[in-house]
Structure 1
Amino acid sequence: MTTIRFTNANVIDTRKGQVLADYEVRIKDGRIVDVSAEPLNGQDDQVVDLKGRYLMPGLVDSHVHVTAITPNFALLETLSPFYVGAKSNELLESMLMRGFTTVRDAGGADYGLAKAIEEDSLIGPRILYCGNALSQTGGHADMRGPGQQTFEGCFCCAGLGRVCDGVSEVRRAARDEIRKGATQIKIMASGGVSSPTDRIDSTQFSLEEIDAIVEEATAANIHTMAHAYTARAINRLIPRGVKTIEHGNLMDEESCRLFLEYDAYLTPTLATYDALAKEGVEAGMAPHLQQKVYDVLDAGGKALEMAYRHGVKMLYGSDLLGRMQRHQLNEFNLRKDVVTADDLLRAATCNAADAYGYTGDFGEVIPGARADLLVLSENPLDDIMVMTQPERYLLAIMKSGSFYKKEL
């Protein structure tokens, strides 16, 4: 494989939040092998002169649904998985072209999509997937209406979750997703916006069920992510070993204390509420669910401010559905008045690697890391809005040492 050497690069150190001026970076076999302020020797290297442009690690979106081709999850469960997979192709390629080289799917993607991306049969970011999220009966992944007794679709097809009840069932479900290669397990641990029968303020799964799920994930050396809105839900999850809390709009001061004590991470997803408030019904979301969106929209901004003030470690997550996924970069805009540019970049790079247990594997421009790299014409540490305009500022996208965009 050709060795690529970037010269005259202003490397963004995402962990320290600073620029390393006039560096050279060598790429071989899909990995970074050298990062140096001194000239690197290599007669056979393919040299790419960046001429002072900015080199940074590829972005990580820690909460996506790459198979959510519609916000109507009940409809999604009835669709052909072949159709959903084909439509996901467009969503995945668009994510990569925005600069996301890794995404963590929070329900829906499986080993097939991840393998197709790995083989370049589909173009898109690397997918870390949970398979089907685990939900109790009447929980956030149970898409039956109150008068519906049976499932219209099947949970092995195009849905985002699977229903399981009781310690033995949740343990079997977790083991089954792990068998299918899950890189994390997703727990639906509170009510949600898009589910038809649960309440936002409900807690879901018993403590014994949660313990069983976390135990199985820990045994497989993978982490757990939990959908949770309220402090009541969050504060029972973190001490039980759940690593990341998704959403967290209605958290409290005690939640912040627990995040710090147990080294857990928060994934706010402001972009999804902003988009749903503006486009939800038009995009196919049931009108009666729209009120849930307004109930949590304002709370999300307040929770973000409280968490940041307390020093809670955060991840970048968009959680957008269907055609609303075009707003994926809007999360930077929605957080920028509260969170500094360096911390926003950490949330979208090295924090994700740390949370998943992949420190040093991606999210940094360091020797040994994957060669997932972006070249920008301007410095996002000076203006984070640079990240929201890839058509203007994003000149090159590299994943695993291969260029997917190169306009240098």
Structure 2
Amino acid sequence: MSLLTIKNARIVDGSSDAPSDPVDIVIENGRFVAVGANEAPASGAGETIDAAHYIVMPGLIDCHVHVIATTANLGLNAELPSSWVALKSAEIMKSMLMRGFTTVRDLGGADVGLKRASDEGLIDAPRLIICGKALSQTGGHTDYRGPYNNRDVSWYGDRLGTLGRVVDGVDGIRRMAREELKNGADYVKVMADGGVSSPSDPVGYLVFSVDELKAVVEVAKGFGTYVSGHLYDDRAINRALDCGFECIEHGNNMSAATVKRVAKEGVFVVPTNITYDVLAKEGAAFGLPPESVAKIEDVRANGLACLTMLHEAGVTMGYGSDLLGGMHPHQSGEFVLRGRYIPAKDVIRSATLDASKVVRNDEIGAIEAGRFADLIFVDGNPLDDLALLTEQGAHMPLIMKGGVAKKRASAI
């Protein structure tokens, strides 16, 4: 791959409340090889882009997505043909990339085939980090059968459109965790609480037993990875922490005491407040069943209050959207929503430097020598206006993943 130099780059990555002084960024073979003043190679060596009129940021990272969620009715999504879901997922992921998200962590549904398609350039998509299918127990989150449907749950396991597998008992959860890791999962996701989008599990439903939760953590750690938990209720969160969970998804109903525990133990949290905001306004129109719409207010307001507590306690938070179906275009709205409660610098950091920690990948999230050359140009300073990161990438004239321009305005 030819050499590329970006001159006069003022970097915003969440490490400071002001852009950096202008630097040179040198890219070769898909990675940053030099970043700093006077790093540009001799004249005529490769292409040069002048970034003087833009802010340069690392490629954004969304730590909580569902790329196979083509509708908010996840029971219906599981019934759709896998071939159609794969093609629709490619469309969903391309739109994510065009919003500046060069890496996304999928929290249930995406398989190694979609990950491979992205890695090999078969589709224009963000880099994918996957758990495979999330693990749920009978009647829990991702058991979408409802009270009058007793279909054998094994039917759902291999369908691309289903977010999770239903497993019961220590042996069952241990075997299925191993199965997902064998199939290429980067980590394990467990539905350790009730949820909004499923029909029969209220928030605060203490689902898997302690022995089941400990068993899945043992498997994950044995594979050299971790367990992340779908969690809202304070009791459920503490239970999961007692069992060795290392990341909390959502965490809306966390108490102040639990926030202190999370901070002390260095556990990561991925709030996903934009999804409740959108679901409250548009969930029914996008196919969310009435029983799910009724649960939204249980978690919506608490999530925003918890966001402030987490920030004040110094908890490392990842950026998360968790949107479904027609709601995916609101992915970048989490920037503005969080910006009402915490400083813009820290909101940005949650999608860059801190996000790379949450997803356990030190090759992304920063413009540093050795990391993947993922970056975006922004027409304006997002530290002053986080809305510049919204509007479907309208203010991003250049989006680069692995040193390849996925979007490039004619003026650049």
**Range of TM-score over shorter length:** over 0.9
Letter in 2 for 1:305: T
| Counterparts of 2:175 and 2:352, CA distance in 1 | 33
Q: Write the distance in 2 (CA, Å) between the matches of 1:66 and 1:355.
A: 19
Please name the residue that 1:282 is paired with: 285
Asked if 1 retains the 8 angstrom alpha-carbon contact of 2:191 and 2:229, the reply is yes
Using structure 1 for the length normalisation, give the TM-score: 0.97
Residues 161-240 of structure 1: pairs in structure 2 closer than 5 A? 161-240=164-243
- Aligned partner of 2:121 in structure 1 is 120
Q: Which amino acid letter does the alignment assign opposite residue 314 of structure 1?
A: M
Which residue is 1:6 aligned to? 6
SS in 1 for 2:340: coil
Identity of aligned residues (%): 41
Aligned position for 2:379 = 377
Cα pair 1:373 1:397 within 8 Å, conserved: yes
Q: Which runs of 4+ in 1 moved over 4 A?
A: none
Q: CA deviation at 1:321?
A: 0.2
Corresponding letter in the other structure for 1:112 = G
- Report the Cα offset of residue 406 of structure 1: 1.0
The answer as to 2:321 corresponding to 1:318 is yes
Q: For structure 1, which runs of at least 5 residues remain unmatched after alignment?
A: none
Is 1:406 aligned with 2:408?
A: yes
Deviation at 1:238, TM superposition (A): 2.1
Partner of residue 27, structure 2: 27
Would you say the 8 A contact 2:63–2:358 is kept in 1?
no
Distance in 2 between residues matched to 1:386 and 1:236, nearest whole Å: 40
CA contact (8 A) 2:231 2:251 kept: yes
Mapped contact 1:6–1:25 kept (Cα < 8 A)? yes
1:345-403 superposed Cα distances (whole Å, 9 cap, x missing partner): 110111121123223x1100111111010011211122222212354421100000100
User: How far, CA to CA, are the matches of 2:39 and 2:108 in structure 1?
Assistant: 45
| Aligned 1:223-262 pairs, distance under 5 A | 223-262=226-265
Contact 1:239–1:262 under 8 Å retained in 2: no
Q: State the partner residue of 2:40.
A: 40
Aligned to 2:21, the other structure's residue is in SS state strand
The match for 2:358 among 355, 359, 375 is 355
What TM-score do you get using the length of structure 2 for normalisation? 0.96
Preserved contact between residue 238 and residue 262 of structure 1 (Cα < 8 Å): no
Give the whole-Å Cα distance in 2 for the aligned partners of 1:391 and 1:207: 44
Distance 1:13 1:269, change over 3 A: closer
Contact preservation (8 Å) 2:139, 2:200: yes
How many Å separate the matches in 1 of 2:103 and 2:300?
27
Aligned residues: CA RMSD: 1.4
d(CA) in 1 for partners of 2:179, 2:39: 50
1:287-338 deviation per Cα after TM superposition (whole angstroms, max 9, x unaligned): 1221101222112111112222222221110000001000001101111111
Aligned to 1:110: 111
* Mapping for residues 383-394 of structure 1, pairs under 5 Å: 383-394=385-396
CA gap of 1:294–1:143, structure 2 versus 1, over 3 A, is: same
Partner of 2:157: 155
Report SS of the residue matched to 1:9: strand
Contact 1:101 1:372 in 2 (8 A): yes
How far the C-alpha of 1:34 sits from its partner, in A, is 0.2
Flag the 1:89–1:357 CA change in 2: closer, same or farther, 3 A: closer
Contact 1:32 / 1:365 at 8 angstroms: preserved in 2?
A: yes
Range with bigger deviation, 48-57 or 271-280: 48-57
Query: How far off is 1:239 after superposition?
Result: 3.5
Kindly state the Cα deviation for residue 222 of structure 1 after the two structures are TM-superposed: 1.8
Inter-partner Cα distance in structure 2 for 1:337 and 1:154: 40
Contact 1:73 1:194 in 2 (8 A): yes
CA distance in 1, matches of 2:278, 2:226: 29
Deviation at 1:18, TM superposition (A): 4.1
CA contact (8 A) 1:10 1:52 kept: no
**1:130 corresponds to which residue?**
131
| Offset from partner CA, 1:146-199 (integer Å, 9 cap, x none) | 122114752111210001111111111110000011011101000000111111
